[in-house]
Every structure is written in C-alpha cells, then in structure tokens.
Structure 1
Amino acid sequence: MSNDQHMPAAMGHFLGEFWQALAGDPEQLLRLRISAQGSLPSVFAVTDFAAAAVGVAHLAVSELLQQVSGTAPQVVVDRRLASLWFASSLRPQGWALPAQWDAVAGDYQTADGWIRLHTNAPHHRDAALAVLGTRADRDAVAKAVGRWQASALESAIVERQGCAAAMRTARQWAVHPQGMSVNAEPLLHRQRGPQGAPATWAGSVERPLHGIRVLDLTRILAGPVATRFLAGFGAQVLRIDPYGWEEPGTVPEVVLGKRCARLDLRAPADRRTFEQLLIQADVLIHGYRADALAHLGLGVERRRELNPGLVDISLDAYGWTGPWRERRGFDSLVQMSSGIADAGMRASGSDKPVPLPVQALDHATGYLMAAAAVSGLSQRLVSGHGSQMQASLARSARLLMQCPVDFPTAHPLTPVQSADFAPHIEHSAWGPAQRLKPAGQVQGAPTRWDLAACALGSSEATWL
C-alpha cells in the first residue's frame, strides 16, 4: 500500500487483520493509499483503527468492481476525516441534536470500583432504577450505587434485563470466562450458505451497489454505520424498527441514504411482511442478540430456507460464544468490561474511567460489517452461494487493544473545520444540515447518498 508518509505499525496491523478476516488477497492492499496526519488522543491507536476500517470497506468495493469490470480502482482514505466520521458527520443548521445520553447514564463509583449504567432506552433505565431502588436523579443513583460491589450490581441489573458493565482491567478480562471466549474467536465468523439463484450484477462502475436490496435490522450504532456505507454506493437500504422505538440522539446521524419503516416481528401479519421482504433481499444486517431472531421464528435455518442466496451479516456485543453471548451490550459497556476504560484512566492519571475519544468499537465494527457484506456479494457472483458472517464489539476491542500508543499523542488531530464539510445542504427530516466530506474514495465510484436522513417509520415496509 502506498502512503504520503511511512505506514505506522498499528495501521499495518489493523489493515492486515481486517483484510485477513475478509479472506482478501493481500496484494489488493497495494491499491490503498492513506493520507493526512494527526491522531485522536487515546492510549490506543484509534485514528489508525478508524482509517484501517474505512479503508477495508472501500477496498471491498474496489474488489467487487475488479471482479465485474476487470479494472481494480485505487482507494484513498483520509485518516483525519475517518476519525471525524467516527465522532459525528452531521452539522445541523439552525437546529440542535438531542443529548446523546440519558440523564442517568454514565460512570458511577461503587464500593470497590466503577460501573457504567447504560440507560438511554426507557426499559433499561427502569431496570437499573428498580435494582437500585431509587428515582431517576443522578445524585440519588450515585448514592445507591456506592453501596454495591461493582460485579454484584452488574449481575443484578443484567438479570433484570438492564444494561451495565463493571470496569475491569485488561488482565481481569483476559481471565474472565467471557474474555477468554471472545479472545479465542475469529474477528469474523464466516460460514458459506446454500446454493441460491444465479446472481447478476445490476450496478455500474459509478454506482457499484445499485440494484442491491439491504434489509437493515440494526440500531445503535455499528449496524447503522454499515448500512449507511452501503447506501452511499447505491444500495437500497430499508431499515425496520419496532413501533414506538426512537433513537433521537443518533438517528439523524445514521439513517442517511435509507428508508425507514416499522414492523412488529412478534405479530404474525408483520412477520409475514418481513419474510416477504427477506425473500427479495440481497443482504440482511442485524444486531439482535444471539438467539433473539430464533425466538421470533426467524433463526438462521429459516432465513436460509426463505432466501438461500442471502448475505447474512450479524452483530453481537460480547461475542458469539461464552456465558455472555446473549448479554445486552453497547460500545461504552464493552470498553468498561474489556479494560479499555481502565487503561485510559491509568495512562491519563485520572481518578475515574477514561473511555476512547469516540465510539470506535461501534464504528470500526460497522465498516467491517459493510466490507463483509460487499465481500459476500462478490463471492455470490462467483458461486451463487449465500453466506453468513458474524462480528462482535468485544472481538473488535481485542484487536484495538493490541496496539497501545504513547499518551498523550505527540501529533494531535486538527479539530473539525468548515472546509471538512460538503458544500451542499442536506434537507433532513429535522432541518437543514451539512455532512462531512467522505473519508474514503474509490476511484470512479464516488460516495453519494441519494436520500436525506429521515424519521423512523416514515416509509412503508416495501421495496421500491
């Protein structure tokens, strides 16, 4: 691969691991060029992680184009813009995004350490407050948390169907049953599906994924990043949410280029509608817990029966094996469990957990999932077979933690500037906004989103 400067060791490591997980030809990495300097402040190589993840997703598109056109386009990634996309791509004009976190969510000191409560969803907040026996007031929650041991409170909240994570060191995670399980997993679980109908390519060099139908069953945050990427290269993305579900702090960021509908998969009529959508889909990307779709009658065997050629990409927070395989989790919780927040605290000399400067596990895993989807489509063109691939935030965390760096960084990233945004205005459902310029480019196939960000449930559950 060629670059403006010498390739950092961390960048090379991440690229190699991501590309190997996709079973990509190492020679293809020579088409990738990484530009720009500077790094986000972190004890781990977050900016290299971001640029590598964005790079492999774009390389997967380039590989698809080589397969169908015989020409291998070059790929360029701006590592600074990649880092900025990992924070936020959106700059509202005359309106403001809601707060990213619920008033109760955050880190609290326990009797023996720290714990993070994730309470953005009302039912998760209710579960935590029920265990603590207190009202939704930060001071009251802090007082109640202080009476608990961290691991005991974590277990109690999880048993109540809530979301929490005690802060562990990397060494503690390495010997924890779940840590040992996920650390033994591949970065991507890969399985070939049955023979499907012969696949044809309906795209063009300029819009490589035109004609591809992507069914999006994902929410905060990795899965929506993956499907946003696919929409940028012409895929028709239909996101399905349950009735009543809202994500006010993240939806304007991640629904760019998509249509959004609602179905209740527990209702027979809506489940039949979903199955008809699935039959006609090329790609399914979902972030349900390990057995959640199976409990709805939509397990992997049923999905293969309905659509043998389906490229089926799924995400789990804590991995696909081990005692926590069905545990609810989010980026910020995995950072606490795996030792990332503890490492940041120690390196910075802080007296409280220090997470990554961005939700890098979510974003990087999202780009890896997007790359897996494109790779699966490429393979289907050759063999006609569908595929199933599984990623996890915890396994991505293990990869990131293999590359610690000096803290603070000697070359900080230049803050976001007006010139970083595309000149045109996006007329989103919430008001006008600007988007960052794309962080990556495939030569001859510019990233372009044909639809502005829309509200959840604003479309019918049908393909166009």
Structure 2
Amino acid sequence: MQNRFIPQIATALGLSEAPDIQVIGAESLPSYFAVSELASASIEMAASMIAKWRPLETGTGGQINIDQRLASKWFDMTIRPQGWDLPSIWDPLAGDYQTRDGWIRLHTNAPHHRKAALSVLGDYETRDDLAMAVRDCNADDLESSIVSANGCAAAMRSITDWQNHPQGKSIAAEPLIAWQRHAKTSVTPKQIDPTRPLRGIRVLDLTRVLAGPVAGRFLAAYGADVLRIDPPGWDEGAVIPEVTLGKRCAGLDLRATEDRKVFEDLVASTDILLHGYRPDALPDLGYDAKTLRAINPAPIDVTLSAYGWTGPWAKRRGFDSLVQMSCGIADWGMQHAKASNPVPLPVQALDHATGYLMAASAVRALILRQTIGEVTSARHSLARTAHMLCQTATPDLVGEIAAEHLADIDPHIEETSWGPARRIAFPVAIEGVSHHWDHPAGTLHRHDPCW
C-alpha cells in the first residue's frame, strides 16, 4: 500500500511524481494516528531530495532504501549514552493540568516561559501545589493569560473544535509548504561531491527545539557545514545531545554591535538560512527579509512557526506538545483510549516530520538555484503538519513495534561532550552516498562563529 503522505509531500515540493523508494519493514508505533507512516514519508522525501541533488553532478541517481522501524525510532531520542545518563527533558512543572472545565498544558522548560506561567498562577514550587491553582481556572482564559504574559500554554481542544476555531480554519487553508520565489540571481554553481553531496553547502542554523535542529542534523549527515547560533544564556537541557549532532555551535548576541557585524558576515556567505523564530522576532532585531536579502541576495530561507503564518495565532509561541493539545490530537487519544487524562502521540512527531520536510525543501531549493538560478524561501509550521496527520485519525489503536534490540544500534562510538555514546542506526541508505556526521554532539557556544 502506498504511503498516504507521499503524494501530498511530493506535490508540496513541486515534484511531478512521487519518488520510487524501497521501504523495508512495516512495524509502526502504536497510535491513533499514522505516526510511523509519517516518519517514513518525511524522511523518504528528504532523502529523495538528496538523491535528486546528486545527479546534477553524476547524471544518475541511486536507489533509496528506508527502514520504517528505524525511521520510527529516529522520531524519538536516538542517542544511547555509554556509562552516563541524560537528564530529564522536561521541567518539573511542565505538563498537563486539569482545569474546572477541561485540560491545559503548560510548557515551562525555558526559564522565561516558566516565569511567565508562574506570574499568572502564583509562585508555586511543586506540581501538586500548582495543580490546585490550575484546577480553579477556566482553560481558555488561563491559556490567554499565560500567552499574554509571553508564556507557552495550550488548552485541550477536540479535532472538531479546532476545525471550527479561527486559527484551525487558517491552518487548513495554508499549503503544507508555502513557497516564495525571489528574483533570479547569479550564483556560482556548487561543485557536488557524489559521495558527500552537500559538502561545501553552508547552513546557518538559528533554530531551537526541535523541528529546525532536526533539519540541520539531516543536512549535516550528507556533508553540509551547519553552524548553529544561540543567544547568550540559552540552554536546551537533555535535548542538546540529540540536536547538535553534526553541527558546530557558536553564540552571538544580536543586540550587541560587534556580534551583529559577525552575524551579518555569516549571512553574507551562507547558502541556507534555517530559523524558527516567530514571524516578528527577526524583524524586531532589525533583520526583516528585505534587510537579509540586502546582505545576501541568494540565500535559501527555510523557516517554521508553531501555529502557522496566517490567522490570529500566527505570532503565538508554541511547541509540538502544545500544538497536539490545540489541534485535537491529545483529546482524540484520550477519548478513544477511554483515559482520564490527555493522550498525546507516542513521539513528538510534529516536530520531527516538520524538520525533515524543512530539510527536503532546503535541498529542493538548492536544486532550483543550481539549475535555473531561482532563489526561493519555504515556510513550514507544526500546526500544518498536524493538519495533515489528523486526516489519518482512527478510533482504534493501531500498530505494534518490537522492543529495541542490539541490531537497532549503530556500532560507531560517538565522543560527545558528556561522554561516549551510540545512536540508533540511520534509517536511510542512498546508493553511492555516504552519510555520517563530522562533529559529535556537544555543548552550545563551544565553537567560534565563523565558517
């Protein structure tokens, strides 16, 4: 049976036909949604773009094989520490809370988001005490108050409620990938190494947890020079060993004059700009699209937002777990599992799928720039990916995947900043193409901000 997502993604990428890819295995994560099918499809399409980029040099492509079991596992934590432990990925106060009329999820992993939530609810230190305060609140009102305080929260809605919500209607009208074509420009064609197709491609990664970093990690696997830039003091805790694989990680303060000069020099010579700032964040720092194109007229701009690019929530902060609450995924799982609390997806599939779609659109844009000189931008959103996934909702829990075994783990030892580690074996094999990461995972701000 053909993967249901492939035709939609191929159309979104502007392809005339879906690629011929061999999928190995049929194991899938148990879910009320086609999560493993989405994992396989999004990774397939990113791989297919690598396979289409490579023939610009060789004239021929290569067979692509995708292991669906491993693809499912790459939608979760892939790192397996050897002799050390990862900390929890969640702040103690983060999670789902019952209100007097429903449920709400608070996202408090970032200190400023935690501070914003507590500025509304009160300065509670334990989850039990906070739960008592939340129980007296109306879910929608509390969501609005926390968002107004620059925090992150999402009341749980049903799929039907979301479809009737102004933001849900806006998302349904948006394309899966929103392309913008810019004036053609003269760019020196890139020399393509057939075995490491993205060698020499510079990627400026301004993204945070989790979709954007997934895109950069995938591009790095095929040789791209991915430079991640973070602001002072930023930390992502347990996910850093996951999202820094293959990247150099530097820090800049875009409010400081000298750092702005360094940033502009990086922009001037980048090929791909990945960013996940809310729509007004970079413009507020003085870097709107017009300014960035004045610095460099030819970069490929690939960006994402949580709740889309149109509608009343277009500028709202959000994360995968919040979007799952807003769009009805967690409610659907709760209702059909007959559970007493929200039931999300088994993995943060919106983040991961959107990340691979970002990688696919970045390479698709490289192909257009290389072949016809057209410079393009691509916009993605977690909510639009969720809209596609929600079409597969089923009342029955479907899927089964065997426990992890030794064959799932790549034998390579990765010397991370925290100690040795191994990874889940990569799910992609492209004939004639090598995938590996030139840099092990490591702490943020550890490299100089230069190419």
Which category describes the TM-score, using the shorter chain as reference length?
A: over 0.9
- Matched AA of 1:29: P
Instruction: For 2:221 and 2:42, locate their aligned partners in 1 and report how far apart those are by CA, in whole Å.
Output: 16
Match of 1:130 in 2: 119
Shift in Å, 1:407: 2.7
- Matched AA of 1:443: E
Match of 1:451 in 2: 439
Instruction: For 1:424 and 1:78, locate their aligned partners in 2 and report how far apart those are by CA, in whole Å.
Output: 19
Corresponding position: 1:182 with 2:171: yes
Shift in Å, 1:446: 2.4
Instruction: For 1:278 and 1:316, locate their aligned partners in 2 and report how far apart those are by CA, in whole Å.
Output: 21
Shift in Å, 1:406: 5.4
Aligned partner of 1:225 among 214, 227, 236: 214
Shift in Å, 1:191: 0.8
Paired positions, count:
451
Aligned partner of 1:360 among 349, 353, 359: 349
Corresponding position: 1:17 with 2:17: no
Aligned partner of 2:407 among 397, 414, 419: 419
Aligned partner of 2:340 among 334, 351, 354: 351
Deviation sequence 1:8-60 (CA, Å, 0-9, x none)? xxx2x20111111110131x512x11111221111000000000000000001
Shift in Å, 1:405: 3.6
Instruction: For 1:199 and 1:380, locate their aligned partners in 2 and report how far apart those are by CA, in whole Å.
Output: 10
> Which secondary structure state, in structure 1, belongs to the residue aligned with residue 445 of structure 2?
coil
- Matched AA of 1:14: F
- Matched AA of 1:374: V
Q: Structure 1 unaligned segments of length 5 or more: list them.
A: 1-5
Shift in Å, 1:108: 0.2
Match of 2:93 in 1: 104
Aligned partner of 1:435 among 423, 427, 433: 423
Kept in 2, the 8 Å contact 1:51–1:79? The answer is yes
TM-score using structure 1 length? 0.96
Q: How is 1:10-409 mapped onto 2 (pairs within 5 angstroms)?
A: 11=3, 13-26=4-17, 28-30=18-20, 32-405=21-394, 407-409=396-398
> Which secondary structure state, in structure 2, belongs to the residue aligned with residue 404 of structure 1?
coil
Instruction: For 1:408 and 1:166, locate their aligned partners in 2 and report how far apart those are by CA, in whole Å.
Output: 24
Deviation sequence 1:67-93 (CA, Å, 0-9, x none)? 332102111111110000101110000
> Which secondary structure state, in structure 1, belongs to the residue aligned with residue 19 of structure 2?
helix
- Matched AA of 2:71: A
Structure 1 residues 133 and 406: CA distance shift in structure 2, 3 A: closer
Instruction: For 2:314 and 2:174, locate their aligned partners in 1 and report how far apart those are by CA, in whole Å.
Output: 12
Instruction: For 1:206 and 1:320, locate their aligned partners in 2 and report how far apart those are by CA, in whole Å.
Output: 37
Kept in 2, the 8 Å contact 1:317–1:392? The answer is yes
Kept in 1, the 8 Å contact 2:57–2:192? The answer is no
- Matched AA of 1:434: R
Instruction: For 1:115 and 1:42, locate their aligned partners in 2 and report how far apart those are by CA, in whole Å.
Output: 21
- Matched AA of 1:426: E
Instruction: For 2:188 and 2:334, locate their aligned partners in 1 and report how far apart those are by CA, in whole Å.
Output: 51
Kept in 1, the 8 Å contact 2:143–2:154? The answer is yes
> Which secondary structure state, in structure 1, belongs to the residue aligned with residue 444 of structure 2?
coil
Kept in 2, the 8 Å contact 1:193–1:304? The answer is no
Kept in 2, the 8 Å contact 1:187–1:395? The answer is yes
Instruction: For 2:222 and 2:277, locate their aligned partners in 1 and report how far apart those are by CA, in whole Å.
Output: 25
Q: Which moved more, 1:299-308 or 1:364-373?
A: 299-308
> Which secondary structure state, in structure 1, belongs to the residue aligned with residue 375 of structure 2?
strand
> Which secondary structure state, in structure 2, belongs to the residue aligned with residue 433 of structure 1?
strand
Q: Indicate the RMSD between aligned Cα atoms, in angstroms.
A: 1.0
Kept in 2, the 8 Å contact 1:344–1:353? The answer is yes
Q: Structure 2 unaligned segments of length 5 or more: list them.
A: none
- Matched AA of 1:22: L
Kept in 2, the 8 Å contact 1:216–1:227? The answer is yes
Instruction: For 1:65 and 1:424, locate their aligned partners in 2 and report how far apart those are by CA, in whole Å.
Output: 26
Match of 1:3 in 2: none
Percent identity over paired residues: 51
Instruction: For 1:173 and 1:249, locate their aligned partners in 2 and report how far apart those are by CA, in whole Å.
Output: 31
Deviation sequence 1:370-392 (CA, Å, 0-9, x none)? 00000010100012222111000
TM-score using structure 2 length? 0.98
Kept in 2, the 8 Å contact 1:134–1:140? The answer is no
- Matched AA of 1:226: A
Kept in 1, the 8 Å contact 2:107–2:153? The answer is yes
> Which secondary structure state, in structure 2, belongs to the residue aligned with residue 195 of structure 1?
coil
Instruction: For 1:85 and 1:195, locate their aligned partners in 2 and report how far apart those are by CA, in whole Å.
Output: 37
Instruction: For 1:37 and 1:176, locate their aligned partners in 2 and report how far apart those are by CA, in whole Å.
Output: 36
Instruction: For 1:99 and 1:202, locate their aligned partners in 2 and report how far apart those are by CA, in whole Å.
Output: 43
Kept in 2, the 8 Å contact 1:222–1:362? The answer is yes
Shift in Å, 1:408: 2.3
Kept in 2, the 8 Å contact 1:194–1:309? The answer is no
Kept in 2, the 8 Å contact 1:311–1:388? The answer is yes
